Amino acid sequence: MRTFYFTTLLFIFTQSVLAQSPSYAKQVQEFDNYVENARAAWNSPGLAVAIVKDNKIIFTKGYGVRELGKPELIDTQTQFLCASTTKAMTAVCMGMLVDEGKVKWDDAVIKHLPDFQLYDPYVTRELKVRDLFLHNTGVGNADFLWVKNNATSDEILSKMRLVKPSYSMRSGFIYQNIFYLVAGKVIEKVSGQRWEDFIRKRIFEPLEMTRTVPQLKEVKDVNQARAHKLVNGKRMVIGNENADAIGPAGSVWSSIDDMGKWTLCMLDSSKFKGGRLLKLATWRELFKPQTIVTPEEFYPTQQLTKPNWITYSLGWFQQDYKGKKVNFHTGSLEGSVAIHGQLPDEHVGIYVFGNYHSSQLRHALMYKAFDLFALGGTRDWSAEFLTLYNGLKDRDEKAQKEIAAKRVLNTKPSLSLQDYSGRYKDPLYGELEVSLVEGKLTIRLNNFLTATLEHWHFDTFQATYERAWDGIANATFVLNDLGKVTKLNFDDMQFSKVK
């Protein structure tokens, strides 16, 4: 009975606004109402928000439910996936080692990881520790190595030598998760501790982030948010995606109470009640713009906020907003979203968790917080962004219809279905097994993902993944001059048939 009473009190307490400063009471109440109304407009199952102002956590609160169809509410202790907002934490870990003189930002990566190789020997040789954080190496996105595979971290890194560059080194910007994994390996090599142990000991424990763990496998509490995604027009609960294989890029789980502490620390030059995480100069280095973000990498929200410049530093995007510098980073994995934003000149920080992939409400809440707690303004960012994203959704649906219109009707496969079955392999993408099961072709990718094929036209099939939220892909079989299958192009990956 005592346990029940205590738990009830804790729930009521953590659902409420925390540490409100009387001077911000009006803004806090307006923001609180805004969040709830916006959540309803976006049809988002749940959110959690923390606001920092003038070196104080002035607001933390949970909204909505952990899982659709179940009554448990989100509170300030509910654990969510931080996703790519983890990157700033990994950068701080490296900064600590820089402060200790164990590594330099401009050290060659192979100084610490001599066996690490990339496709281009020049890039392998010239790659600096700093480059691991900047998405500017010339190596394009390689998320297929973990999203479409159950490979270990070491297996992922070993395959990076097969990924061909997309552009010349330091000449552009393409978002790249895998190099943060490399950064984690450098941290391990230099410190003698695994990244997950280092970040726990050097960040979570000093900041008393008691609800924060570095990997999904450590999330044991039932008080956790479940991921949701819009699938075929309906919201559905999906399995929480596992990013542990690329942990330093995005695997941390935390609560909004804990992220309030992290937001406060990072806004206040890495200070906490026990001292500093970083030397002041190193903290400043984290936020120095280092890479120009090219237009194709813009967030759609920037169509409305219209920044004059967008850059990337060590784990942070930057842009201008109403003449002020903004530091921010989003986090996204199937069914889970987050955003961490700073308006440093005005001493305002915000962190938002969400458990719905299709909702970009996080951006609206960041700008609304900047307006309410610092810069002024009455724009309804939620309504404007919702209109924007609905328009993008309509555009995408139109594009899909245009693709469907190109289908050539009344064609047949060149071969019997059995002739398409067999093993297909590629050194980079892995292995794919095509089988004929009860009159239909099925695909098993890397012994991890399964899809069923339906004939589309000629030798192209449409693949529907077993996990509905993985969507639909194309599978095109390539025949040689003798009419034999030699290759399979599947979901933008190419495989050769094993004879």
Torsion angles phi and psi, residue 320, rounded to 5: -100, 150
Secondary structure (DSSP) of 413-439: -SS-HHHH-EEEEETTTEEEEEEEETT
Max Cα–Cα distance, the chain, nearest Å: 80
E-assigned strand segments in 29-100: 46-53, 56-64, 80-81
Q: What is the pLDDT of residue 2?
A: 40
- 3-class secondary-structure state, position 394: helix
Running DSSP on this structure, what letter comes out for residue 114?
Answer: T
- 3-class secondary-structure state, position 393: helix
- What is the CATH architecture assignment of 417-497? Beta Barrel (2.40)
In angstroms, the CA 49 to CA 58 distance is 11
Domain with CATH 2.40.128.600 in the chain: 417-497
In angstroms, the CA 454 to CA 471 distance is 14
- 3-class secondary-structure state, position 254: strand
Residues with pLDDT less than 70, the chain: 1-22, 297, 358-359
In angstroms, the CA 83 to CA 87 distance is 8
Q: What is the pLDDT of residue 22?
A: 53
**CB-based contact 224:79 (threshold 8 Å):** yes
Residue among 116, 140, 156, 152 at smallest CA distance from 429: 156
- 3-class secondary-structure state, position 162: helix
Please measure the distance between the N-terminal and C-terminal CA atoms of the chain and give it in whole angstroms: 68
Q: What is the pLDDT of residue 233?
A: 86
E-assigned strand segments in 110-232: 228-231
Q: What is the pLDDT of residue 15?
A: 44
Question: pTM above 0.75?
Answer: yes
In angstroms, the CA 33 to CA 41 distance is 12
Residue among 441, 445, 424, 423 at smallest CA distance from 495: 424
Domain with CATH 3.40.710.10 in the chain: 14-395
What does CATH list as the number for 14-395? 3.40.710.10
Please count the residues of the chain.
Answer: 499
Q: Please report the sign of the dihedral spanned by the C-alpha atoms of residue 375, residue 344, residue 46, residue 24.
A: negative
